[in-house]
Structure 1
C-alpha cells in the first residue's frame, strides 16, 4: 500500500481563538485531526488584545497572531500588499505547500490567497456563509470574492445550499467545489438530564447577538411564548449589539426571572449551558450550516429553527422543527415543541446523541479534506500571465484593478527576495508533529 501523502498546511482567517464561533471551532478541530493524521498545520490570524506573536495550542498547533490593525467586526484592515512580508516569512519558514483560507468575511484570508498564489503555492478556500445578491454590501463582497477565487485550486462549502450560493456568487466551475459539512466533538457535547430545572421548560439560545442571527425576531418571540406558557424560561448565551434590545424586552415585560442573559460564553462552557435546556432555538436569518443546532442535538435538545440556507440539510425531520423566519411561524414552531414536552413525549437524549455522533465526526471531515489536499497538490502551477488573464476574463474594470494589485504584489515579492533571499530565511524544525520531513520550500 502506498504511503499516505503528508502536507504542510497554513490555515488563515481573521476568526480564531480566543474569539468564539463556528469558523473558529471548525479551524481548530480540523487542524487537530489533520495533525493526528501526520500533517503539519499552522494557523495565522490577527492579534487579539495582548495575544500577539506565536502561541502553541493542544498537540503543538502553532498559531501566528499577526500585529495587524482591525476594524469592523474584528476583521483585519485591508491593505492588499503590506501583509506580504509577514506571510512570505511564515510560508517559507514553515515550508508551507497549501494555504487554506476560511470565510468570505476574512480579509486576512483573501490576502493570504493572493500572496500564496504569487509565491506559487496551492490554495484552498472554505466558505462558511451565505450571501445575497441585491444589497450593496453583498454586491461588493461577491465581486471581491469572485476576483480572489479566480485562480483558487479548490473551494469547500459546508452544505449543498452553500455550494450553489458560492458557485453563483464567485462564478466558479462546480467541478472545483466540494461539499464537506461541519462536525461536532460528540465527546464534549453529551446529554445530562439532571442539569435541567425540574418542572420548567428551558429554551436555550446560543448565538452572537446581531441582526443576522435574528435577534429582532427573538425579541418578539420571547414575550409571546412567556405569555402563553407559564412554565417556559429562556437561557441566552452570547454577546453583541442586539443585547440591549433583549434587555429592553425583558424590562418592558417584567421577565427578569424568566429570561437570563449569560453574556459571552467560552466554547468550553457551551455544553454546560446546553444541557440545562429542553429546546434549542435558532432564529438566524441566514445560515450556511449552523453548527450550533448540531451541538444542541448532540446534547439531547429538541431543535426549533428558521428554515433558511443549509439548515434543512443538517438534521433529520424528527430532531428539528423548521419554521419560516417570521414571528408567528416561529412561535407556532415553539408551541409545537413545548406541547410535545408537556405531553411527556420528550425525545430520548441518548438516542439523539448517538445519531449525531454517527452523522458528524471530525475524523471523517478531516479525511475528506485530505482528499481535497491530495487533488490540489497535483494541479499544475499557473503562469503569472495565466493568472492575470483569469482575473480579467469577463471583468473589464474590476479585473484590471485587481490585476494591477497582483502585479504590485509580484514586484514587491521580487524586491523582498532580492533584499532577503529565501536561503537566508531559517526553516522551523518540525516539533511535536508526526510529519518529520519538511517538504520542498516555496520558490520565492
Structure 2
C-alpha cells in the first residue's frame, strides 16, 4: 500500500525572520516533510513588515497573522479571537494535522484548542523546561495541562524534557515521544574543511582536515552565541569572563546575540578595561553563525536551563571544543570527548573553561574529527521521518502495536475500537478529559471548550466552509522511502 501523505500546519509564535532554535527546528522539519511528499504551511504572527502570506524555500507557505506582541515575540493571548482566522486558514489549506510548537506560544496553545474543536488531529512539541515552584511556572504548567489534555501526541526534544513535560502536565508517558533537534551539517563545516565530496576528508570515513595545534603562546578564542537573557546564564557569563581572562591572559572572547543583558556585559567590559579582549557583535543572522563560530577554538554555553541546546551541536560541527553547564537535556546532546561540563556556578564554569584551554594547548582533543561525527549523529531527514511516524500513529495509519512498539492494554482489550493514540472528537469525551484538570480549573476549562465549540458552530453558519476557496497547492514531491533515510 502506498505511503499516505498529510496536509500539516505548524503553528507557533516563534519563526523566521527571528533567529533561534525553535524557529530553525520548525523550518527544517517543514522542509524535510515537504521533501517526503507532505504539504506543510506555517502559521505565525506578523514580524515588522512581514504580514500576510510569504513563501520560503522549498515551497513552505507562511501565514503572518496580525496579532500584537507582548513579550519576547509571544503574541497577546486572546483565547477565542484567533479562531475565525485560524478556521479560514485550515479550511483553505485543507489541513489534517495541526502541529504546535512551544508551551509559551499563545498561537500554538490557541491553535491546538481550535484544531480539536474543528476535528483535526493535533501534535505538540515542547522545546522548554520549567520548574514547579515559581508562580510563573505554576500558571504555565496549569495552562499546559489544559492544552495537552486533548492533544493526540506530544514530542519532546530530550529525555529530560520528556520527564519534565510528563510531570508538569500529568501525562501518560506513552503519549510522549522523544525526537531531538538536528542540524544541516553542510552549513556548519570547520574552517578549511573540504567542500567537494570527492576531496580528501570530505566525508565520514575519509581523513579529516589537518589539525591545527595550539602552541603555548597562541591566543585561544572563546565564542558565545546566545540570546542575552537571564535564563541563558548571561549573569554567570558576565561574572566569569574577567576571571577566565585573568587566569589565561592570552584568551579572547567573541559574543554574538542581543537582549536585555547586553548592557551588563558592556558595563563589565568597561569596568575591567577588556575592550581588546572581548568583542561584542550584537545580533547575527542564522546564516552568519558558522562564520562567527569558526573564528574560535572553544564554545562556551553557560545556560541555566535548556531542553536540548542546538547551538552546541552546531559548535561541535564547526570543530569547537564545547564548555557547557550540565543542566536540562544538555548532557544528552554530545558525547563526553566533545564537551567539558560545569555546574551552573561561577567557580565551576571558570574551572571547566580552564580545563578546556589546557586540553587544547596539550593537543589532547581531536576537534578536527568532530564534524564528521556530528554529521552521523544528527540529521533533519531522520527527524522528519520520525515525526512522520507520529502522524501515522495518531491518524490510525499504522497499528497501535507498530506505533508504540508493543501491544498496549487498551489495544489488547478492545482491539481496533480503542486506541490510546487516537482520541475521540466527541464533545462529551473532550469535556471529560478537561474536567479532570482540577476542582476549579476543570470547570473553567470545560467552559472555555464549550464557548469555543459555540464559536465554531456560529462560524459554520455565518461563513459556511463551502464558500471558502481552496488554496492551490505546490506540486508534491515524489519520495521513495528507504531504510537509509
Shift of 1:372: 0.2
Partner of 1:441: none
- Residue 161 of structure 2 aligns to a residue in which SS? helix
Contact 2:320 2:367 in 1 (8 A): no
From the superposition, tell whether residues 281 and 193 of structure 1 become closer, same or farther in structure 2 (CA, over 3 Å).
farther
Residue 146 of structure 2 is aligned to residue 147 of structure 1: yes
- Residue 254 of structure 2 aligns to a residue in which SS? strand
Partner of 2:25: 26
Alignment of 1:289-304 (within 5 A): 289-304=308-323
Alignment of 1:145-294 (within 5 A): 145-192=144-191, 199-294=218-313
Shift of 1:433: 3.1
Question: How many angstroms apart in 2 are the aligned matches of 1:137 and 1:316?
Answer: 34
Contact 1:302 1:347 in 2 (8 A): no
Question: How many angstroms apart in 2 are the aligned matches of 1:78 and 1:348?
Answer: 46
From the superposition, tell whether residues 210 and 78 of structure 1 become closer, same or farther in structure 2 (CA, over 3 Å).
same
Residue 372 of structure 2 is aligned to residue 354 of structure 1: yes
> What 5-or-longer segments of structure 2 have no aligned partner?
194-211, 397-421, 480-485
Contact 2:190 2:317 in 1 (8 A): yes
Question: How many angstroms apart in 2 are the aligned matches of 1:66 and 1:347?
Answer: 48
Higher relative contact order (CA 8 A, sep 6+): 1
Residue 440 of structure 2 is aligned to residue 397 of structure 1: yes
Contact 2:11 2:107 in 1 (8 A): yes
* TM-score, normalised via structure 1 length: 0.96
Across the aligned residues of Structure 1 and Structure 2, the Cα RMSD in angstroms comes to 1.5
Partner of 1:439: none
- Where has structure 1 moved over 6 Å in runs of 4 or more? none
Question: How many angstroms apart in 1 are the aligned matches of 2:333 and 2:365?
Answer: 21
Contact 2:146 2:437 in 1 (8 A): no
Partner of 2:389: 371
- Residue 129 of structure 1 aligns to a residue in which SS? coil
> What 5-or-longer segments of structure 1 have no aligned partner?
437-444
Question: How many angstroms apart in 2 are the aligned matches of 1:219 and 1:317?
Answer: 26
Shift of 1:347: 2.2
- Residue 81 of structure 2 aligns to a residue in which SS? coil
Partner of 1:88: 87
Question: How many angstroms apart in 2 are the aligned matches of 1:394 and 1:296?
Answer: 42
Contact 1:39 1:435 in 2 (8 A): no
Between stretches 136-145 and 335-344, larger displacement belongs to 335-344
Shift of 1:301: 0.4
Partner of 2:430: 387
Alignment of 1:111-122 (within 5 A): 111-122=110-121
Shift of 1:380: 4.7
- Residue 84 of structure 2 aligns to a residue in which SS? helix
The C-alpha deviation readout for 1:109-162, integer Å capped at 9, x for no partner, is 000000000000000000000000000100000000000100100000000000
Shift of 1:434: 2.7
Contact 1:6 1:435 in 2 (8 A): no
